[in-house]
Structure 1
Amino acid sequence: MNRSRKAYLEALVELLRTKSYSKITASDIIGRSGYGRTGFYRQFSDKNALAAALVKEHTAMYARILANDLRDSQCNMEDMVRHILEHVMQHRAEYHAILSSQIPGHGFDEFCACALVDFRIMANARPNCSDAELDYDLFYYATTRQFADYLRYWDAHGYEPAAPQMAKCIAGVIDHLSPGDALRFDNSDGAESRGDVGLISFAELS
């Protein structure tokens, strides 16, 4: 990445720490960067193009971290989650803007879509699964959105608890969830039971 491009991206990130995206102008970014208008408009048509580049850069890093961990047989689920959370904490301002969809057209949904593209490019990054029928596009689409929702929850709670504890929490949720799991609760009112727990359908909650 050339120096001016990096400076414009860093300027946007710095401004996002104190201002909402809608109130940041291209002039603000250029002034904070230390580089000129000509250099900015040579690389970006406007601040939205710069924001798109920022999102793509972070989705690529996100996908690369996960892909590297998937290739590492010694890396468990908690390790994988912690590595992502540590990355997010290092780039808290930009992830807050992305996860809270502060940047029109470059928010949560776009982050997930870009990450899916990056995973497709990393064709050798495959989950440790023996099921030959597994649809990898569906796998990465579903798991990316699920994990990004964990990040969005963390962001909404001010990045508390700290990354190591949050990694344990998320890893625990992932380990205990599987397709078809029923919502279970203590059986104290005669509900249909399985073992010592009661079951309730999601329809009954609506």
Structure 2
Amino acid sequence: MDRRRRKTRAAIFSAFEGLLAERSYTSITVRDIIERADVGRTTFYDNFETKDDLLRELCEELFDHVTSAAGERAHRDGQEGAGAPSVFLHLLQHLIEDSDNVLRLLAGESGGVFTRYFTDSLEELVSPRVSRAWAAEQDIPMDYLVDLAAGSFVEMVQWWVRGGLKQTPEELDRWYRAALGNVLA
């Protein structure tokens, strides 16, 4: 992708994020986005087929960035295990560092729109951490447990945001892993 196209897409993403912080997703029009981004309608449609397509790409970019940064940080700090920080702690720390984006969107009027995207992006991070042995022993499908673990994490983050981020990432990590007990390996 050339530099001009990257700048245009960045302007559209920025305009869209700003609008999402101010009002609900359903009340935002393509016209609102192009006016704020200062681009033409044709330029918008050269980059995105629909407003929904823009939302999907924004979520993919934000959530992929957050989950990959958490995974890289966990890998850099050493493998999870006795005494090593969990990938969930790293994810919470990254969310707090990047709170202007993901946390703001999750807490805004359109927070519900982002819940499914965030849950989906977490499933890849959560999946290898779900205990396959325990799932088999309990005769519970893995896809159900992965969705449960990812959804629980998202719900915890939304609870944390609604409460004003009073707890530390370390506290939330401990609570999350304790609550999911045998589900996580």
The alpha-carbon distance between structure 1 residues 13 and 166, as it changes in their structure 2 partners (threshold 3 A), is: same
Distance change (3 Å), C-alpha of 1:99 and 1:28: closer
The alignment of Structure 1 onto Structure 2 pairs a total of residues equal to: 167
Match of 1:64 in 2: 68
More strand by share: 1
For 1:42 and 1:12, the matched residues in 2 are separated by 16
Query: How far is the alpha carbon of 1:172 from its aligned partner?
Result: 2.6
Q: Does 1:179 align with 2:182?
A: yes
Q: Report what 2:156 is aligned to.
A: 150
Structure 2: which 5+ residue stretches go unaligned?
none
Against the structure 1 CA distance between its residues 97 and 44, is the aligned structure 2 distance closer, same or farther, given a 3 Å change threshold?
farther
How many percent of aligned residue pairs carry the same amino acid? 20
SS in 2 for 1:60: helix
Identify the structure with the greater helix proportion: 2
Aligned to 1:23, which of 17, 23, 27? 27
Report the CA distance between 1:52 and its aligned residue.
1.0
TM-score, normalised via structure 1 length: 0.65
- CA distance in 2 between partners of 1:99 and 1:47 (Å): 14
Using CA pairs below 8 Å that are at least 6 residues apart, which structure has the higher relative contact order?
2
Residues 50-97 of structure 1, C-alpha deviations (whole Å, 9 max, x = no match): 111111112211220232133231751385154233245131332335
| Aligned position for 2:95 | 85
Distance apart, 1:28 and its partner CA: 0.6
Normalised by the length of structure 2, the TM-score is: 0.71
Q: Would the alpha carbon gap of residues 64 and 171 (structure 1) be closer, same or farther in structure 2, given more than 3 Å must change?
A: same
Q: One-letter code of the match for 1:86?
A: I
Structure 1: 5+ residue stretches without partners: 181-206
Query: In the aligned structure 2, how far is the partner of 1:126 from the partner of 1:73?
Result: 16
The alignment's C-alpha RMSD in Å is 3.3
Q: Which residue type is aligned with residue 100 of structure 2? A: Q
> Which residue is 1:94 aligned to?
105
Partners of 1:79 and 1:12 in 2: CA distance: 29
- Structure 2 CA distance for partners of 1:108 and 1:51, relative to 1, 3 Å: same
Which structure would you say has the larger Rg?
1
